[in-house]
Structure 1
Amino acid sequence: MTNTTMELEKLDLTPEKLLLNETDSKSKNGSTTVMRLENLSKKYGKHLAVDSVNIEVHEGETIGLVGPNGAGKTTTIKMIAKLIRATSGKILVLNKHGELQELNGDDKDLIKFGFLIDQPFFYDMTAYQILRYFARAQNYPKKKINERIDILLRLFKLSDWKHEKVKTFSKGMRQKLGIIQAILVDPQIIILDEPQTGLDPKARIEIRRIIRALQKQGKTIFLASHMLYEISEVCDKIALINHGKIIAFDTIDNLEKNLKEKELHCQLLHPISQENLEMTITNLTNRLKPYLNNQTGEKDSKKAIKYNSGNQSLRIYYDGKKESRGDILEILMAELTSNNKVISFSQPRTSKLEQIYLEMVGLDDEPRKNIKKEVK
């Protein structure tokens, strides 16, 4: 084994090095801005796909761009990759002289980027041929290309397919090849658009491990996805985008602090009769008032308890305090008659990021209208 190979195995994420020790990680300066989007917009005719997006990315950060389909995630990434031109605004990127430089036609002094975007491969070429082509096109040292390709193919468990044509690959294998291409030349900024698409659960876990190892190397990662668990596992900050606008950009912890509501579900043995429903809800609201979510104001206090006649359950929006849950259960047990016992009491198994997402993004207005029409 050559010294170069040994160096690459340590640096380039061989399976044995996936979980690097802290002493192996590269130093990073979290105060250095490596990319900044300033009032970035993209318009298609009258449709504003991306609307005045402002995001600042620091060295070593992993930023998650989260939003529903059609929110503007891929359009934003394609503008960064220069696959489409912005209608207005700027993309500033760190150059080799330590200065922010506007992304334009002359980018030879910029730090290296790696991209995973939904793009066609040359399906009649082999995995090795494609990777070699991209490595040479990006001026990766010729003497290191073969070793680099071998290491990454082994890491992504594609070594046995090195000389097979890509048209014989499954969707998941092509996705892995796309991620390899994105990190092939050891870029400082890695842009990944929906990296988990087409992967089975085991492969998704492997990709998350690789992303963590890239983080330990000090890489800056910009990750667009609608898979909330993926985002919560690897990202330092998330940018929530909807209808082309950034509606929140912060750490998950900080966003969690601003959650307006916490829910409890109470399953009842029997339904509440229609004639007793209003009185029951009023009594429960009065008894539970100290624990209910009152951020919406005194006038909306009755909305803190909702009854679902379809599944005989109560939904209670409370203050989110752990100690409140026990008190709420005791009051429910005392208030509800023996003919209407509580048979289960729980907090919904929704991740905190899902709560943030649903609260800030919510359901699209149009689908809601369609649902109402169908019910009628």
Structure 2
Amino acid sequence: MDATPLDTLLQKVWNGERIQPEEARRLYDLPLPELGMLADRRRQLAKARAYEGRGAQIVTYIIDRNINYTNVCNVYCKFCAFYRTTRDPDAYVISFEELDRKIEETLALGGTQILLQGGHHPGLSKQWYLDMLHHIHSRFPQINIHGFSPPEFIHFQKVFEEPVEQILRDFRAAGLGSIPGGGAEILVDRVRRRIAPLKATAEEWLHVMETAHRLGLCSTATMMFGHVETVEDRIEHLERLRSLQDRSLQRAGNARATGPGAPTGGYFTAFIGWTFQPENTRLRLPRAGAQEYLRTQALARIYLDNFENVQSSWVTQGPEIGQLGLRFGANDLGSIMIEENVVRQAGAAFRMTVADMHRLIRDLGYEPRQRDNWYRLVN
């Protein structure tokens, strides 16, 4: 039991000092407005030097498209309503012609990136993936390919019978620019065995990310919460992310990558948390509310003191709560989501335009700015 006086702990957070798991557990139970104020303070400290000293006044967003190259998957996660088996009539593998159409539409809307993820298809070869990456990169060199979550790489390792490092090297050479943080759920294997027993373990997820960072690929980190985990599990998840980020930043010499293939080293560019969406899934649980979402996001901002960016999840929470998340530690509203399929299949169907994004940001007194994957301002 942490015996530190509460006032001392609050001052520690206000000063920007690192907190420990037992302290995080105490902070989680603070009144929500007080916790939000502390998280907003940590946001200001984290962004103080960004964008020529104006980072605390700027809220960013990205224009990208989530392209699911296949919905065939053999891990059958209980929380997923998107996957299909090879026998299902609506199972698909995307054609390159369809890819081109989607990317051309993205570019026409000012997009800078595609988020490329799919199910764990047992029948696609390594050469198919390399051909897809090379096709996209050669035809659309201006678009960043933010692709393949760690569980996909663990799946590739098994199907291709190659080490993760070699696969990452080959994918990067073919055009992969960065890696999304999907599939983290909760990085506690006791929880993972209950909700996704066939998916990558916590150690495997972390191994993929650390290997990617060592090779110079940046990534995002995520957490899906509000299902069978405890608050302590969430804190353990945050601790594992923070520890890996410490190692990655130390390896990179606290450098920041400047684009695809940047030699400065890889690290987590941002943290994104969202709540489990129960509709149409096999995991029959009540939906976590906005208060729980905001409380957990605020705690993540405070705990992840080596993450510059925290993204608010309007996709699962809706635009109003997503906007409120900007007062609870977030400095980014993510993507306008030209296309999103996985969360939509589970019951969330919110949509956003650039005008909507600007309005939500300006209504809180911030300046909206479009960014790329590395948080460089686009305009």
TM-score of the pair, normalised by structure 2: 0.32
Larger Rg computed on CA atoms: 1
Q: Which has the higher contact order (CA 8 A, sep 6+)?
A: 2
